[in-house]
Amino acid sequence: MAYIALGFLLWRYHGDLISATTALGLHREPDSRHKISIRSEIRRRIFASVFSIDKTLASFTGRPPFLSHRYSSCSMLLDINDDVWLMDEKERAKVISKLTPQGWNADGQVTTVTYLRINMYLALIRDEILEISLGSWNECLPNCI
């Protein structure tokens, strides 16, 4: 019985996390989409973490995910180490200019942000798989036959 209560409590905390994330608007990119700042990167990192957790829980439980890529406009976070945000603007701009057009660092340096970016890409793929696997087949059947 304690296992059921713990599972419900975990699912409730996850629901609260998703509610807070969407209430804060972390799933939406502000109008200054192309402006790179520590604020925008922190928003992207938090959203990437929550989105990844949501897909992991949905995969393990078989329940539909709470977040969908279809209702999110948050850009992919940049592969920039945390130390860069403590640099002055000229040095930071120099590091940012070295990123690939997709936002990866070109130095080959692997940081915690690199892993978070990879998790976000995997979560986006997992979200599409969950959409297909947990979706209603009744809508698909007339078109598939």
How much is the pTM?
Answer: 0.84
pLDDT higher than threshold 90 for residue 135: no
Residue-averaged pLDDT of the chain: 85
Q: Looking at residue 73, what is its pLDDT?
A: 86
Q: How confident is the model over 106-115, as pLDDT tens digits?
A: 888 898 899 9
DSSP state of 71: G
Give mean pLDDT, residues 127-144.
Answer: 73
Give mean pLDDT, residues 34-39.
Answer: 80
Residues 71, 109: Cα–Cα separation, whole Å = 32
- The closest alpha carbon to 49, from 29, 70, 74, 32, belongs to 74
Q: Looking at residue 62, what is its pLDDT?
A: 83
Identity of the residue numbered 34: H
**Would you list the domain boundaries of the chain?**
2-133
Hey, what are 24's tokens? 């804060």
